[in-house]
Amino acid sequence: MTPTPQSPESKANNLALLVYLLQLLSVLFGVTLVMAIIINHSRARAVEGCLAASHFRWQIITFWVGAAVFGVGLLLGLSLGIYPMLSAVVWLYYRAIKGWLYLRKNRPAPAY
């Protein structure tokens, strides 16, 4: 049997799911977060008009806000910086799980 081709919508949703998985794995393997943001920025135009477009925006915002907060933590050093760094990890996990759940329900990501 020949495999049936996936629709562009299905491919875009699968790509968004992959990015959520990479975000969640980033706590164990930091490089996966870099891979996720590269996918987001390089494929953002390809998913325009699909449900996944809102998830890509959600994922990009998640990355950049988390990176900024984590960066502030690094600047503060280990004594005070641990709090912003931990909050960046919680932010990433919260948004990745929330976005994953929205996508699994075939709903767009929240606007914020």
The 10s digit of each residue's pLDDT in 53-87 is 999 999 999 999 999 999 999 999 888 999 999 99
Asked, for residue 112, whether it belongs to a domain, the answer is no
Mean pLDDT of 38-66: 96
Number of domains forming the structure of the chain: 1
Asked, for residue 29, whether it belongs to a domain, the answer is yes
pLDDT reported for residue 77: 87
Residue type, 13: N
Mean pLDDT of 20-29: 95
Asked, for residue 4, whether it belongs to a domain, the answer is no
pLDDT reported for residue 112: 75
Asked, for residue 42, whether it belongs to a domain, the answer is yes
Asked, for residue 109, whether it belongs to a domain, the answer is no
- Residue 86 belongs to domain spanning: 9-104
Asked, for residue 38, whether it belongs to a domain, the answer is yes
Asked, for residue 1, whether it belongs to a domain, the answer is no
Q: Indicate the pTM of the whole model.
A: 0.91
Which pLDDT band, with edges at 50, 70 and 90, does 16 fall under? very high
Give the dihedral of Cα atoms 99, 43, 27, 89; nearest 10 deg.
-50
Give 7-13's long-range contacts (Cβ < 8 A, gap of 24+).
8/50, 9/50, 9/51, 9/52, 12/46, 12/47, 12/50, 12/51, 12/52, 12/53, 13/50, 13/51, 13/52, 13/103
pLDDT reported for residue 108: 96
- 22, 56 contact by CB (below 8 A): no
Q: Residue 33: pLDDT above 90?
A: yes
- 16, 103 contact by CB (below 8 A): yes
Q: Strand, helix or coil at 53?
A: helix
Asked, for residue 110, whether it belongs to a domain, the answer is no
